Each structure stands twice: as structure tokens, then as C-alpha cells.
Amino acid sequence: MKILALLTLLALPCGLYAAPETKNLKGVTMPVSMDLDGKKLQLNGLGLRTKVVFKVYVAGLYLEKPSKDGLEIAASEQVKRIELVFLRAVDGADVAKAIADGFTNNAGEVLPALKERIEKFGKLIPDVKKGDRLLFLYRPGKALELEANGKSLGSIEGKDFADALFRVWLGPKPSDKALKDGLLGLL
């Protein structure tokens, strides 16, 4: 009888707790949704950044309003969050240069107005090692926030900057088309 009671107690919590749903890509797991500032964000998609033959990072794009249109997402006035989880060590200057190249390729006519902020942004990017997480978060009416492994690195003012940053991955000339397709949920 004691064994039956113990088994009943052990089985009870299993039915009450449901683990959050997640998606996995190359060993990186991200939740399919999250709450932030009272808003529910959905994982729009996951993508893999490769350079030549090297797997560099897995990225996850979270939005209030999921979409498959990269330019619409970049320009949208909603909470937007992109998280990069590195699969290898990369020098911060190399990460910053790759993102700066993405600005050059995708910012269009607003690029000259962004130059100083792109330089400031580049100086905030730290060296990363395997497993490190970089987070870029835009909240409407606020600055774009940067974090590394949960620690704030600083922020960059202007919706124009945030829009251009999201165009780095979602614009017409992304550095990695497969990554863009993954973030847009097309893969």
C-alpha cells in the first residue's frame, strides 16, 4: 500500500507540468514563444549562419506578429528580438565587421545617417566563444538594446538604426540567404 501511494505521488506532478515547446537547430534549442514586457513573442524562425564551410551561429528571430516578409519585419513597429548562439569562437571585431558589411549591403539611402552609430555599435560587440549568446532587442519607442550572455552591453538610439540592423539578416542582400530563409520560417 505504501508503494502504491508513493507511485501515485510521483506520477502526479508529471501530469501537471508541461515543458515549454522548443525548436532545435544544430544542437541549439530555443523556445517557440516567450513573454517580454507583457507581450507574447513568437519564434518566427531559426537559421544557421555559415561562412565558407564553417558553421558560425544559429539565430532565432522573435516577433509579436510573425511574418515571412523580411522588409516588412525590419520596418515594423513591434517588439523584435534576434538572438545569435555561437557554434565557434569568433573575434568581436570580425562579428562587428560582418554586421557592418550587412548594413552597407542593405541599409540603402539611410546608410550615411547611420555611420557613427554603426561604429559605436561595432565597439559594443565582444569576442565570443562557443555557446555564447548575443541578443539584439528593439522595443517600439526605445533604443536597440544589446546583450551578451544576459549582460547588457549598451544601446543604440533610433528606429532607423534598428530597422537597418534587422535588414542585415532580412534585407534584399543578406550575407547568408539560407539564414534569412530560416529566420523567415521558409525552411
Read off the pLDDT of residues 1-23 as tens digits, 9 standing for 90 and up: 555 444 444 444 444 556 679 99
**Mean pLDDT confidence for 136-146:** 96
Distance of CA 186 to the CA centre of its chain: 16
Sign of the C-alpha dihedral computed for residues 169, 23, 88 and 54 taken in this order: negative
Q: What pLDDT score was predicted for residue 21? A: 95
pLDDT digits (tens, 9 = 90+) for 147-175: 999 999 999 999 999 999 999 999 999 98
**Mean pLDDT confidence for 23-30:** 96
Q: In the chain, pLDDT over 70 holds for what percent of residues?
A: 90
Q: What pLDDT score was predicted for residue 187? A: 82
Give all domains of the chain, ordered by start, each with its CATH number: 20-183 (3.50.70.10)
Mean pLDDT over the full length of the chain = 92
Give the predicted TM-score (pTM) of the model: 0.88
Q: What pLDDT score was predicted for residue 5? A: 46
Q: What pLDDT score was predicted for residue 20? A: 75
Residue 73: left if φ>0, alpha if ψ -120 to 50, beta else—which one? alpha
Q: In the chain, pLDDT over 90 holds for what percent of residues?
A: 87
Whether the pLDDT of residue 59 is over 50: the answer is yes
**Mean pLDDT confidence for 121-126:** 97
